[in-house]
C-alpha cells in the first residue's frame, strides 16, 4: 500500500530546519563538504535510496519500481526534476520539483500521492497565473544529517539555479506537523516557517486537510 510505504520512508527522512543566513533575500551555502547535483541516469538510484534504503530488499519494492518509472518518464519531458545533496559522496538529502503547468500531465511521484487524505496533484493547481512556476513536491534530508544545514544548502541551490531562473517563480505545499509523526518528520516538504524565512509568501490556505501553498 503506497501510503504505508510513504509513512515508513518518512520515518527516516525529513526536511531539516536550521538557522538562516540570507543575501539579497536568498540563503547562502554555509555547509562544508555538501555538494548538490542534478538528477541524471547514473545517480537516480541515490534519489530512491534516500527514501527506501533503510528497508530490506528495497530495490524490489513495488513503490520503488513505480517511482523509478515516474522519474524516467518525467525527466524525459522535463529535467532536472530533482536536486540531490551529497556529503562525502553519500546522498543525504533531495528536493523534487516539476512545472506547475504539468501537474495534471506528469502527476507527482507515486510516493508523494496520498489519495486517502486528498493529497493529489489536483489539490495544488492554482491556475494560469502560476503556470510558469515550479512546484516543489518533496523535500527531505536523511535523519542522520538533519539540523546540520543540508536543507538550507538544497534550498539555496534551487533558488539560485538556472531551472528556477528560467521560470516565473516557485510554489511549495506545506502542512502543519502531525503530532502522531516521529519528531523528525514533517511531510511532505518541511515547515512553512523554513520557506517564509527564505522569502516565500503564503499564497493560498487549503482545507480538508489544512495546508498552505507558498510562493516565491
The three-point CA angle 115-14-16 to 5° equals 140
Instruction: Kindly state the percentage of the chain with pLDDT values over 90.
Output: 60
The residues pairing with 130 across neighbouring beta strands, listed in sequence order, are none
Q: Look at residue 183 in the predicted model and tell me its pLDDT.
A: 66
Structure confidence at residue 21 (pLDDT): 39
Contact 139, 198 (CB under 8 A): no
- For residue 166, what is its C-alpha cell? 528560467
> Which tens digits make up the pLDDT trace of 61-117?
999 999 999 999 999 999 999 999 999 999 999 999 999 999 989 999 988 888 888
Q: Residue 154 belongs to what domain range?
A: 2-215
pLDDT at 149 over 80: yes
Average pLDDT over residues 127-140: 93
Direct distance between the N- and C-terminal alpha carbons of the chain, in angstroms, rounded to an integer: 34
Q: What are the C-alpha distances in Å from 209 to residues 141, 179, 200? A: 24, 14, 21
Indicate whether 129 pLDDT > 50: yes
Q: Which three cell numbers stand for residue 177?
A: 506537523
**58 versus 186: which is more confidently predicted?**
58
- How confident is residue 184, by pLDDT bands cut at 50, 70 and 90? low
What pLDDT, in 10s, does the model give residues 187-205?
788 888 999 999 999 999 9
Q: Report how far residue 189's alpha carbon sits from residue 47's, in angstroms, rounded to the nearest whole number.
A: 15
Average model confidence (pLDDT) across the chain? 84
- Given pLDDT bands bounded at 50, 70 and 90, which one contains residue 31? low
Question: What CATH number is associated with residue 50?
Answer: 3.40.630.30
* pLDDT of 9 higher than 50: no
Average pLDDT over residues 159-181: 89
Q: How many domains does the chain have?
A: 1
Q: Show contacts of 58-62: CB within 8 Å, 24+ apart.
A: 61/5
Confidence label for 175 from pLDDT (cuts 50, 70 and 90): confident
| Contact in structure between 181 and 187 (CB atoms under 8 Å) | yes
Question: Model's pTM, two decimal places?
Answer: 0.83
| Residue 205: Cβ within 10 Å count | 9
Amino acid at each position: 500500500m503506497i501510503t504505508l510505504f510513504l509513512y515508513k520512508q518518512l520515518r527516516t527522512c525529513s526536511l531539516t530546519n536550521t538557522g538562516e543566513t540570507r543575501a539579497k533575500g536568498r540563503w547562502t551555502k554555509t555547509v562544508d563538504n555538501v555538494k548538490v547535483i542534478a538528477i541524471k541516469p547514473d545517480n537516480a538510484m541515490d534519489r530512491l535510496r534516500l527514501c527506501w534504503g533503510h528497508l530490506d530488499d528495497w530495490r524490489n519494492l513495488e513503490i520503488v519500481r513505480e517511482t523509478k518509472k515516474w522519474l524516467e518518464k518525467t525527466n524525459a519531458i522535463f529535467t532536472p526534476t530533482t536536486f540531490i545533496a551529497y556529503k562525502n559522496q553519500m546522498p543525504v538529502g533531495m528536493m523534487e520539483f516539476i512545472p506547475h503547468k504539468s501537474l495534471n500531465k506528469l502527476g507527482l511521484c507515486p510516493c508523494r500521492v496520498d489519495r486517502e487524505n486528498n493529497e493529489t496533484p489536483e489539490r495544488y493547481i492554482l491556475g494560469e497565473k502560476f503556470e510558469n512556476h515550479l512546484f516543489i513536491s518533496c523535500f527531505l534530508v536523511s535523519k542522520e544529517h538533519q539540523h546540520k544545514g543540508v536543507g538550507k544548502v538544497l534550498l539555496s541551490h534551487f533558488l539560485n539555479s538556472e531551472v528556477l531562473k528560467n521560470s516565473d517563480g516557485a510554489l511549495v505545499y506545506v502542512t502543519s506537523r502531525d503530532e502522531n509523526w516521529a519528531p523528525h518528520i514533517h511531510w511532505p516538504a518541511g515547515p512553512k516557517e523554513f520557506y517564509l524565512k527564505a522569502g516565500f509568501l503564503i499564497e493560498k490556505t487549503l482545507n480538508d486537510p489544512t495546508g498552505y501553498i507558498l510562493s516565491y
